[in-house]
Structure 1
Amino acid sequence: MTAPVVTSIVPGSGPFHSSSYSVRFYLPVKFQDDPPTPLPELKLEHYRWDAHCVAVREFSGYAKDDNVVKEAQKLAVSLSRSPWALPNDGATDYAYSIAQYDSPFHFIGRVNEVWADVKSSGDGDDDGCSSSAIAAY
């Protein structure tokens, strides 16, 4: 198993306007040049995530529908009071992503994160963010 396992939520793209999601497994650096070939019946697709900026909120326990939504809302509220803005220009298809770092059999001290793509609020950075401008709220 890889860590983290990242689940990205795409709101309203499923049947009857329900949310859909994609699950991604991290491929360690030592396998990235020559990745293992998945079984064809699994219909797995290689995906390379371009460099981008995300805001992160960490939470513990198991990542379940009810607490994931609450944590994503808390992150959105925090960002609304910060110099960072959630993109609303269609730059991303995902509302947010969940990163889970622990095996399901790890019961205590679990680590999860909610990730939201962010861009700066016009501070002049070409790439939309800067590592020196990170703030905690």
Structure 2
Amino acid sequence: MEKPKLFLSYIILAVMMVDLCLIAQSREIESPQYTVVHSESDFEVRFYRDSVWMSAPAKETSFRKATKDGFHRLFQYIQGANLNFSRIYMTAPVLTSIVPGAGPLHASAYFVKLYLPLKFQASPPLPLPELNLAPDSWSSHCIAVRQFSGFARDSNIVKEAEKLAISLSRSQWANSTSHSEYAYSIAQYNSPFRIIGRKNEVWVDVAGSEANGCKSSLLASY
């Protein structure tokens, strides 16, 4: 019985993503606002503005399963499963934040997030309780970013995060990653139907502010 259920869940997700592709073709997708304050060949540092996201905690034990589960609930939310019955446009990226050791049996815990469009930033529609979602308000802060192509999978996201950590260790941001509860996040910008030219990113919070170019400072905290 498990295999038919699993197959059906993939069909439902595929239909959802086709819908998102059609939406993307008809309008520009909103993303969180940021300024690039430093750029190198293998990473850049961005200053992100205040923003509000909708977050879905996922109890799955793998990145792929957690992202699939969290996105499924977030999709229901933007399709009207909220107390306002509001339809919310899809945004990018789909962000999966990872907390090592916080899951069952000391596995990683995952939080899947969608940035809310500007129209809903000030007053996000409340999700239906059964979806187990919650707004996540971000204060402006600095994020180090590494891009990578292909599909984001359990087998490659740790390697990409390690590459970003190595790049940061050789830069002015060595030992200046912030004390965020999340070790890193994976941002995905494309539907699963896009095979080539895919865009993914590893995000890591770093200390600093826009005023000092997100440079490390003993006084920088948030």
Q: Give the TM-score of the pair, scaled to structure 2.
A: 0.52
1:130 equivalenced with 2:218 (yes/no): no
Corresponding position of 2:202: 114
How far 1:70 moved relative to its partner?
0.7
What is aligned with 1:18? 107
Judge which range, 80-89 or 59-68, deviates more.
80-89
- Give the alignment's Cα RMSD to 1 decimal: 2.1
User: For 1:85 and 1:7, how far apart are their aligned partners in 2?
Assistant: 24
Compared CA separation, residues 129 and 56, structure 1 to 2 (3 A)? farther
SS of corresponding position for 2:112: strand
My pick for the range that moved more, 98-107 or 54-63, is 98-107
- Measured in 1, the distance between the counterparts of 2:170 and 2:188 equals 26
The alignment status of 1:97 with 2:189, answered yes or no, reads: no
Partner of 2:164 in structure 1?
A: 75
Max Rg structure: 2
**Following superposition, which runs of at least 4 residues in structure 1 exceed 2 angstroms of deviation?**
33-37, 85-89, 127-133
Note if contact 1:119-1:129 (Cα within 8 Å) is conserved in structure 2: no
Distance 1:17 1:43 in 2: 22
User: What TM-score, normalized by structure 1, do the two folds share?
Assistant: 0.82
Measured in 1, the distance between the counterparts of 2:107 and 2:211 equals 31
Gap change, CA 1:72 and 1:14, over 3 Å in 2: same
| Cα deviation 1:84-137 (Å, max 9, x = unaligned) | 034467x211110111111122222110000111125xxxxxx4873386xxxx
Are the counterparts in 2 of residues 86 and 117 from structure 1 also a CA contact under 8 Å? no
The structure with higher relative contact order (CA 8 Å, sep 6+) is: 1
Q: What amino acid maps onto 2:168 in structure 1? A: L
Aligned equivalent of 2:153: 64
- AA at the equivalent of 1:44: L
Query: Which letter does structure 1 place at the counterpart of 2:162?
Result: Q
Distance 1:74 1:129 in 2: 27
Cα distance in structure 2, aligned partners of 1:25 and 1:86: 29
Structure 2, gaps ≥5 residues long: 1-89, 216-222
Q: Which residue of 2 aligns with 1:41?
A: 130
How many residue pairs match? The answer is 126
